[in-house]
Structure 1
Amino acid sequence: MTEAAAGSGPQRIDLPYRLFGRARGVAPGLHRAVGTGLNGAFLRHGSILEVPDARRIDVRASITDPFGGLKVRRFENRARIDVFVVLDLSGSMAFGRAGGDRDPIADLCSAIAHAAIRSQDRFGMLAAGPKPRQDLAMRATRRAGLPDEIWRRTSGEIGDGRGVAGLIEMLDELPQRRALVFVVSDFLMPIADVEELLSRLWRHDVAPIVVRSSAVETRLPRFGLVETRDLETGRRRVILMRRSLREAWLVHARERRAALDRVFRRYGRPAFDLVDRFDPDAFVDHLLSGGG
């Protein structure tokens, strides 16, 4: 499934994503769309008065028509869609991304770009933290070499600053027509900000991706001094980790994840957890189960 070796470039993966509901558009593609067309599954027969196209005449159906009318085949419409990545580059997204063999964010974004091109769709990207990152913004396109370009652009872009005000501001640059939007973030922000971010995407099909690190959830020490640093403010703090604090920390992480799940289901789909590295097989399973 994966063609690129570790560290050598973007991973080439065919992702089975789909748009919830029918697409709207006239450009031929693979997604079920509103209306009838020429490139989809057979729907029904109709009168040639409805579709005056002699190329679609079904001789057998016309002969057996008791009213002697000419019957034409009508097919399901299939159209392309736009696929976007909306990437959070606030400071907290830097955690766990430095020093590894591969950047999980770059692997994810380039894999989505590759899958979009392979599916005859267009790929675009918006990225921001507190301020918009116009240098990483990309309008929907199908140009050659796109996955490699996305991989180079996002590798090592660990972000800085606090908040996602810039990301919310950039959402106005998305097209009016319904698109599939992968929102990539650690979502370490107030729930109210999460709701504002997702509610601004109401016209689109939203697929959240939660970037997480096992170091702060499952690999906490049971006892000892632990130095923490807020990646958005730079503030450092030393705490004494003990059993009760560790358990409270883990309970808080589970409760916050459950709260996020409720928001995600209200505004879009179940989220995919990107933990430490990009696992293409796990992502494919998530998409096949209805997550994208």
Structure 2
Amino acid sequence: MQGSSEFHYRLPASFGGYRPGAHKGTSLGAGQGFAAHKRLFDHPDPRRLDLRASVRDVRQEWLVRIQRQRVAVPVHAVVDVSASMHFGAARSKLKVAADFVEALGTSAFRAGDACGLLAFDHAERDDLFMPARHSRGAGFVMGQLLRDCTADDDAASNPQKAGNRGGIDGLRQAVARLAGRKGLVFLVSDFHWPLAGLDAVLELLAPACVVPMVAWDPAETEPPDAQALVAVSDAETGVRRSLWMRESLRGEWRAGVAARRDELRMLFEGRGLEPFYLHGAFDGEGLTRHFLEAVA
């Protein structure tokens, strides 16, 4: 595993379920979160008897403490594996995403959660699907699946058809498995495709806690310094262009990156979501801080 590390996540909402775990639950059971006092007659467990509450009870009933159980939640990574995700100056964005997914598997296992993988390009990638499971080695397996994944060669041979690759159709097919289900979902993509329809996809995932993971490479966000003729190509469509890298073009490049960042921020903020950026490498400590700030 290169550049990835374990991280810790905390969820702002409470979840139902009966499998013990590390997250706030809505179910009553063995736990440390106080829920209510109930009559000993209705809940005959003398170990939970609360003498002080019983003495203060106006009905002079014996009262026991009822606790809320901490529960496990299903965790899924939904990863874009389209052609643009295979780009990277030092390491491809997909390999950075694989570092994150491997760390996610380890982190979920330690938290007692089941972890699974879904992937998409122009359509759902069934060959990369891994159902959620609570396994020590799940992260390693998911990471290797992504590292061994190859780009769709059809994108280079048919640019017109490839224009929709990695877009909303593939994402919609992938998340259909998770529609209406609670849990934690990491949506990993560079979002280098039209965003129309993304809000509808987020609506399908509304019951879950969604964390957008924006994978960008430094070579995309910062233009070259030298004033020279630069050959660039669209990783999704394969269309190539030659540009003379002058100062005004650098300004347009940076402005375009800033505009795209603002567009993503506004879209996600409309859903109460805060994106986390994978900028050339995965930072486990940074993602831990991201969760701590979100639930503070």
| 2:30 is aligned with 1:26 | no
| 2:101 is aligned with 1:109 | yes
**1:261 paired residue number:** 265
Shift of 1:81: 0.4
Stretches of 4+ aligned residues off by more than 4 angstroms: 97-100
Q: Secondary structure at the match of 2:28?
A: strand
Aligned partners of 1:267, 1:66: CA distance in 2, in Å? 47
**1:157 paired residue number:** 149
Change (3 A) 1:47 1:54: same
2:238 counterpart (234, 239, 252):
234
Q: How many residues align?
A: 283
**2:227 paired residue number:** 223
**1:74 paired residue number:** 66
Amino acid at match of 2:231: E
Amino acid at match of 1:77: Q
Greater shift, 220-229 or 270-279, is seen at 220-229
Aligned partners of 1:22, 1:200: CA distance in 2, in Å? 19
Q: Secondary structure at the match of 1:195?
A: helix
**1:202 paired residue number:** 206
| 2:255 is aligned with 1:251 | yes
Q: Deviations over 1:68-109 (max 9, x none)?
A: 211101112211101110001111111107757x93111100
Aligned partners of 2:65, 2:52: CA distance in 1, in Å? 11
Change (3 A) 1:202 1:65: closer
Q: Deviations over 1:227-251 (max 9, x none)?
A: 1111122221111111111101111
**2:140 paired residue number:** 148
CA contact (8 A) 2:180 2:204 kept: no
Aligned partners of 1:248, 1:144: CA distance in 2, in Å? 47
CA contact (8 A) 1:107 1:151 kept: yes
Q: Deviations over 1:138-196 (max 9, x none)?
A: 11111342122122112143544423322211211126431110000001111214323
**1:274 paired residue number:** 278
Amino acid at match of 1:113: G
Alignment of 1:83-162 (within 5 A): 83-96=75-88, 103-157=95-149, 159-160=151-152, 161=155, 162=165
Shift of 1:51: 2.7
**What TM-score do you get using the length of structure 2 for normalisation?**
0.87
Q: Secondary structure at the match of 2:141?
A: helix
Amino acid at match of 2:193: M
Change (3 A) 1:97 1:287: farther
Shift of 1:291: 7.8
Gaps of 5+ in 1: none
Change (3 A) 1:166 1:191: closer
Aligned partners of 1:230, 1:124: CA distance in 2, in Å? 31
Aligned partners of 1:142, 1:95: CA distance in 2, in Å? 32
**What TM-score do you get using the length of structure 1 for normalisation?**
0.88
CA contact (8 A) 1:184 1:208 kept: yes
Shift of 1:131: 2.1
Q: Secondary structure at the match of 1:188?
A: coil
CA contact (8 A) 2:40 2:63 kept: yes
Change (3 A) 1:151 1:45: same
CA contact (8 A) 1:205 1:268 kept: no
